[in-house]
Amino acid sequence: MLVLTRKVEEKVIIYTKNTNGTNTVLATIKVTETKESNVKLSIDAPSEVIVDRDEIYRKKNDPKLTTDNASKKRKSSKKHKSKHSKIRDR
């Protein structure tokens, strides 16, 4: 695992090296904001690169999760989002 320190507006580039010596950029991640213990990231990636938060990735790829569990988590997530949007609007 690679651990990096970045300041606001600094970027991390994720890419692969091709056999012909060129590079293919898979994603550019930029720190756009930090507040208390939260970090806001901007991720720029080609449409064929899938970018998910960890909890979304796990839901999509864990066959043990039922539709019922996923719907409960969505409802909880909606409450959380509305609380944050009210804070942003102030």
Other C-beta atoms closer than 10 Å to the C-beta of 24 total 9
Q: Give the model confidence (pLDDT) of 56-77 as tens digits.
A: 999 999 877 755 555 555 555 5
Which of these ranges, 11-25, 38-52, 53-67, has the smallest mean pLDDT?
53-67
The pTM (predicted TM-score) of the whole model is: 0.64
Which residue, 58, 85, 88, 52, is CA-closest to 70? 58
Q: What is the DSSP letter of 21?
A: S
- What is the rounded distance in angstroms from the CA atom of residue 2 to the CA atom of residue 10? 16
For 16, the 3-state DSSP assignment is strand
